[in-house]
Amino acid sequence: MKKLLFVLAAVLIGTNAFSQIEKPVKWSFAIKKESKDEAVIFLKADIQKSWHIYSLDQKDGGPIKTSFTFLPGIAYSLIGTPSQPQPHTKFESAFNMNVSYFENSVIFQQRIKLKAAKSVLHGKLEYMTCNNQKCLPPDDIDFSVNL
């Protein structure tokens, strides 16, 4: 009987711990060639209802802004910096400042100059997700896009 109770308790604790992992944002990546030597990388965040992520230009002293790092490659070079649509902005008492954020979905873009026919662009992104009740720790994601 004690073994049965122990197994049942372990299963309930394990199930509860597994259900605590939250991933309210799903990322996808694509490329669109604009000419033989230029392309645009699309970095899309699909955000669950009631959650949001912060803009590329979120000021320091508050939540972690979304950022992208593109690893150097001989097959491409960056043209400018990543761009974003116009974010929502509001005062957040939790951070005691105005914050710029996106809900539902957002597509960031990075223009690149292509220097080789076939290659892979590798990068890393960092972002922070919050809702009206809590913020999750910042998350880092490695990504790659076939050029």
* Residue 104 domain-assigned (yes or no): yes
What pTM value is reported for the model?
Answer: 0.83
Number of domains, the chain: 1
CB distance 88 to 102 below 8 Å: yes
**What is the mean pLDDT for each group of 10 consecutive residues in the chain (147 residues)?**
38 43 94 94 97 96 96 93 97 93 98 90 96 94 94
Q: Is residue 50 part of a domain?
A: yes
**Is 120 inside a domain boundary?**
yes
Kindly state whether residue 15 falls inside one of the protein's structural domains.
Answer: no
Kindly state whether residue 139 falls inside one of the protein's structural domains.
yes
* Mean pLDDT value across the chain: 87
Domain that holds residue 38: 23-146
> What is the distance between the alpha carbons of residues 68 and 30, in angstroms, rounded to a whole number?
15
Model confidence pLDDT, tens digit, residues 32-50: 999 999 999 999 999 999 9
Q: Identify whether 55 is part of a domain.
A: yes
pLDDT in tens, 103-115: 999 999 999 999 9
Structure tokens at 35: 């000419």
Query: Is residue 17 assigned to a domain?
Result: no
How far apart CA 30 and CA 42 sit, in angstroms, is 5
**List of residues 6+ apart from 105 with CB closer than 8 A:** 44, 45, 46, 47
- The CATH number assigned to the domain holding 137 equals 2.60.40.1250
